Amino acid sequence: MTRNPALDRRTILKGAAAGAALSITPLRHVRAAGAPVKVGVLLPTSGVLAFLGQACRRGIDLGARMMAESGAPAMEILHVDTESKAEQGRVAAEKLIREGCSVLIGAFDSGTTISAAQAAEAAKVPLVVNIAAAPQITSQGFQYVFRNFPPGATLVYNAVARIKELSSLTGVAPKTAVLMHVNDTFGHAVAKGVDILWQKLGVPIEIVDTISYSRSAKDLSVEIGRAKAAEPDILMPVTRVNDAILIVRELVKQNVGLLGVIGPGSPGPYEKAFTDATGKYGDEYMDCVPWYDPTRDKTKRAIAAFADDYPDQRFELNVGFSYEAVEIVADAIARAGTGEPQALQAALRETNLQDHIMYGGPITFDETGQNTNIGGVLLQNQGGAPQVIGPAEIAVAKPVFPMTPFAER
């Protein structure tokens, strides 16, 4: 169910609902005069990434609704499906630019984002990246690309730092670990990053084995058997959602005894599909990821509004970062006072959003277009949902560590 009607391709939201029931913080400047500013959104809402792209779209639509209700400048949101194909990024971006979009948001997948960024740069139309971690997105000298998501190295750094803090949070000091990772580009990059940063940060846990597996694997019994034989204190899987489910089921089947399962910067375990599929056995699984700050009033309002619009869905990082992308664009339009792309690019460079929903410092962009103030949290599934257990300043639950043995659940 959604409060916003399912306009397949286009959702028009005008800022006519200022002062509505949701008392979110008004933007600081008057809305742009004239017609709504066209904002193009590129997401993979079909194909292999559709599940994640649709979550992002829910964040975009929620952000657009709440910006309109706060009195933000009028925006017309145009959605285009990139079909989970990297080459469609450029095609979709060019289509949206031809339709008069002054600014773009997208595109979740790194390959698609790079493709779209090339088109945006050539047309001198700003692109605000909601999610995509490849370092080259902000290392190629693009002038019109602004990323509000951590690059891969920062993702891993934050994750390793949170794992290092685990002993001080729990009073339990694991000594050994096995690192498992999916063997796609993402999995290899994270595993390599963990290996480098483990030494650099002096994490006092020995990685006794590293095990990779196919992204298309349907059975991980051999890999889990190998991990079990190493007798680690913790297992650190780098997964997507489906293989994370396979891992938990195999851990239960082989009754593997562990102090904990901790994903180092890994998608999957916080998603509703994972907790629904694994039930009580997915509880106490930890993950280190960028996440929303549950202590902020603005976050609480966004989560409440999301629950009204999508009662069967979960507000998670895909939703949160997509919501923030809309807020960043609305703020830039308000300060620019126009929908002219070059004015929006200049305004985006001066972004300084102090009050926002994702954990970290103010949203600002450095000379490469990267927001370097995004933090990482330690999550643990408890009662079938992810809870923030670290850092202590925003924790809403206490860690359960060591985890409850599977046979005792």
Mean pLDDT of the chain: 89
Output the six-digit token pair for 10. 């286009």
DSSP-derived 3-state class of residue 381:
strand
pLDDT tens across 169-224, in order? 888 999 999 999 988 777 887 888 888 888 888 888 999 999 999 978 899 999 99
8 Å CB contact between 3 and 65:
yes
Most confident listed range (21-25, 37-41, 200-204)? 37-41
User: What strands, in cross-sheet order, belong to the sheet with 145-147?
Assistant: 10-13, 75-81, 37-43, 103-106, 127-129, 145-147
pLDDT tens across 243-261, in order? 999 999 999 999 999 999 9
Instruction: Give the distance, in angstroms, between the CA of residue 20 and the centroid of all CA atoms in the same chain.
Output: 29
Q: State how far the Cα of 286 lies from the Cα of 282, in Å rounded to an integer.
A: 9
Inter-CA distances, 225 with 183, 188, 254, Å: 18, 21, 8
pLDDT band per the 50, 70, 90 thresholds, residue 33 = low
pLDDT of residue 167: 83
pLDDT tens across 126-169, in order? 999 999 988 889 999 999 999 999 988 888 888 888 888 888 88
**Half-sphere exposure at residue 371, Cβ-oriented, CA atoms within 13 angstroms:** 32
Q: State how far the Cα of 401 lies from the Cα of 285, in Å rounded to an integer.
A: 10
pLDDT tens across 285-332, in order? 999 999 999 999 999 999 999 999 999 999 999 999 999 999 999 999
DSSP-derived 3-state class of residue 328:
helix
Residue 360: what are its φ and ψ, rounded to 5°? 145, -175
8 Å CB contact between 384 and 272:
no
Average pLDDT over residues 394-404: 95
pTM to 2 decimal places: 0.85
Letter string b/e over residues 105-135, b meaning 16 or more CB atoms within 10 A of that residue's CB:
bbbbbbbbbbbbbbbbbebebbbbbbbbbbe
